[in-house]
């Protein structure tokens, strides 16, 4: 999951973790790390590596914007769609109006931050 620098700083401040322990720069984009054993986000409380395993987000109240808007993502025409990779996507309604603008603004911010390094 891509995150902003402010979100990384907030997660570090609130969890007491070092940023290097939960995120990495991937192609210039700050991205949450996955645990090797679960192949899921380091903040997901789960013991299973199954794609549709139950789990709870340990930072739910301060989760990044991309997590809040998931499973809505942008397709290659910049339209908001349900992520094909989400095993729970059938439980969500189509993207609400304006989701594309929210996601485009978030993407622009993350890419701008990445190119400023
Ligand atoms: S919602 Fe929580 S567990 Fe899921 S990717 Fe975001 S921070 Fe990680």
pLDDT digits (tens, 9 = 90+) for 19-64: 999 999 998 899 999 999 988 999 999 888 887 778 899 999 999 9
Q: Are 15 and 25 in contact (CB under 8 A)?
A: no
Three-class SS of residue 3? coil
Question: What pLDDT does residue 34 have?
Answer: 94
Element (H, E) at 109: helix 99-115
56-57/72-74 β-pairing: unpaired
Residue 17 backbone zone (phi > 0: left; psi -120 to 50: alpha; other: beta): beta
Which residue segment(s) compose the domain that 90 sits in? 5-115
Question: What pLDDT does residue 42 have?
Answer: 96
Residue 80 CB neighbour total at 10 angstroms: 20
Question: What pLDDT does residue 117 have?
Answer: 66
Distance (Å, whole) CA 108 – CA 64 = 15
Tally the C-alpha atoms within 13 A of residue 116's C-alpha that lie toward its C-beta: 9
Instruction: For residues 80-103, give the mean pLDDT.
Output: 95
Give yes or no for residue 91 having a pLDDT over 70: yes
Closest-lying ligand 1 atom to the alpha carbon of residue 68: 1
Domain count, the chain: 1
Q: Is the CB of 1 under 6 A from ligand 1?
A: yes
d(CA 88, ligand 1 centre) in Å: 15
pTM of the model as a whole: 0.90
């Amino acid at each position: 999951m891509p995150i902003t620098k402010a979100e990384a700083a907030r997660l570090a401040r609130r969890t007491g973790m070092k940023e290097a322990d939960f995120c990495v720069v991937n192609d210039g984009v700050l991205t949450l790390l996955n645990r090797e054993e679960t192949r899921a986000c380091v903040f997901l409380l789960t013991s299973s590596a199954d794609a549709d395993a139950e789990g709870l987000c340990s930072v739910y109240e301060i989760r990044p914007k991309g997590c809040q808007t998931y499973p809505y993502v942008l397709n290659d025409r910049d339209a908001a769609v349900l992520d094909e990779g989400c095993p729970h996507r059938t439980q969500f309604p189509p993207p609400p109006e304006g989701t594309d603008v929210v996601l485009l603004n978030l993407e622009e911010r993350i890419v701008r931050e990445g190119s400023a390094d």
